[in-house]
Amino acid sequence: MWVITPINVSTTFRYNEDPNTLTAIADLPNGYPEGEFVYSRLSHPNSEKVEAVFDKILGGHSVVYSSGLGAFNGLITHFNPNQVAFGQCYHGVHAILDIQTRNRGLKQLSLNEEDLEKLQPGDLIHIETPVNPFGTSYDLKYFAEKAHSKGALLSVDATFAPPPLQDPFKFGADIIMHSATKYFGGHSDLLAGVLAVKSKDVKRRLVDDRIYLGTNIANLESYLLLRSLRSFDLRILKQSSNALKVVTFLNENKHRFKSLVKIHHSSLQTEPYVKEQLSNGYGPVFAINVDSEETAKHLPSKLKYFHHATSLGGVESLIEWRAITDPYVEKTLLRVSIGTEDPQDLIEDLDQAFSSLSRD
Ligand SMILES: Cc1ncc(COP(=O)(O)O)c(C=O)c1O
């Protein structure tokens, strides 16, 4: 038997050789059972294996997708809310909600008290925490209580702080979503998404939808994701502890760096819920505001250990002038994703970059 799960690229699977075991799909009200493979858009050996691993990591019934946005589409398609309340979150999530508004009149609400009062049974509050691009946290218990008092559901995009950093089910979430492209993938070489729900029946219905949305995880990606999940908790804990060291350094040395205006990160928030939610460490992404758009464009070119690129969660540190991809942010904002490098190298790199900006 193998140690490493083999790459399996078959899109189609031979039926059982024994004619007596064959059943017509019309006679299978719950679809094909797990472990019975027909065509890889439905499921395949490595997609089911990934789901079994995610069940353990996320503590629910997991459904994997071809991307994080594929997962959000699956969520919105299945739960089909008339109204969604959401705040700051990934710009692609805004775009999906805009499509729903365009096509079927979905009502978009903010997270303020007045809007939350308008929620009806079957509606959704969607919270991203820690939030993209700032890495700051929202109070999950508060939003879970608000949602449930109205008969609505709480979905949580927890991409920025996967377990063991944070478990949204503990604070009342009904659905957890992750872009597995980020920390679960961890090597900037695969796209995937995952939803975790509390009921096996809901999982089955999400899988039924996924078949016809055509958004199952691809064969090669699921192999890469299984590889990544083997080292997942080593990476996330190291990235979290590195990020805390880097943020602490910047915060303590802010007075030396003329161009550094503001640092955003959960570790700098003082509300008690932040530490309760992130009891095993803060997320490895933070953001900074600098003194001008010019500085924001130039800072990445002065760093040698940070690639100037979008995305996050990989073992390599990234920095991004966020306005390149996110239409909703200030042009002075940079997002930083901390990797697994020696934190002292990252600190010295940021120190020399900010110091050289002060001299320019
Ligand atoms: C918080 C968050 N959610 C969802 C997504 C979308 O994930 P994907 O790119 O895997 O579709 C991203 C991507 O950056 C993200 O940062």
Q: What is the pLDDT of residue 106?
A: 98
Q: Which atom of ligand 1 is nearest to the CA of 310?
A: 14
> Ligand 1 mean position to 144 CA, how many Å?
22
Measured by CA distance, the residue closest to atom 9 of ligand 1 is 68
pLDDT at res. 308:
98
Going through 246-356 in order, the beta strands assigned E by DSSP cover 260-264, 285-290, 307-308, 318-321, 333-337
Domain topology for 232-359: Aspartate Aminotransferase, domain 1 (3.90.1150)
Q: For residue 359, is pLDDT > 80?
A: no
Residue 33 has pLDDT above 80, yes or no: yes
Taking CA 269 as the corner, what is the angle to CA 264 and CA 272, rounded to the nearest 5 degrees? 155
For the stretch 204-226, pLDDT in tens is 999 999 999 999 999 999 999 99
pLDDT of residue 321: 98
When pLDDT is cut at 50, 70 and 90, the band that residue 269 belongs to is very high
pLDDT one-digit tens code per residue, 73-96: 999 999 999 999 999 999 999 999
Enumerate the domain spans of the chain: 19-229, 232-359
260, 359 contact by CB (below 8 A): no
For ligand 1, pick from 72, 86, 90, 178 the residue to mutate: most ligand atoms within 8 Å of CB. 90
pLDDT in tens, 302-353: 999 999 999 999 999 999 999 999 998 999 999 999 999 999 999 999 999 9
Distance in angstroms (rounded) separating the CA atoms of residues 163 and 280: 9
pLDDT average, residue stretch 231-244: 98
Residue 3's pLDDT is 93
Could you give the count of Cα atoms lying within 13 Å of 115 in the half-sphere of its Cβ? 15
The span from the CA of 153 to the CA of 158, in Å, is: 16
CATH tag for 19-229 (out of 1.10.8.350, 3.30.450.90, 3.40.640.10, 3.50.50.60): 3.40.640.10
Atom of ligand 1 nearest to the CA of 311: 14
| 228 Cα: distance to centroid of ligand 1 (angstroms) | 17
Mutate to test the pocket of ligand 1, among 66, 157, 179, 285 (most ligand atoms within 8 A of CB): 179
Lowest-confidence region among 19-33, 138-152, 170-184, 245-259: 19-33
Q: Considering the chain, what is the average pLDDT of its residues?
A: 97
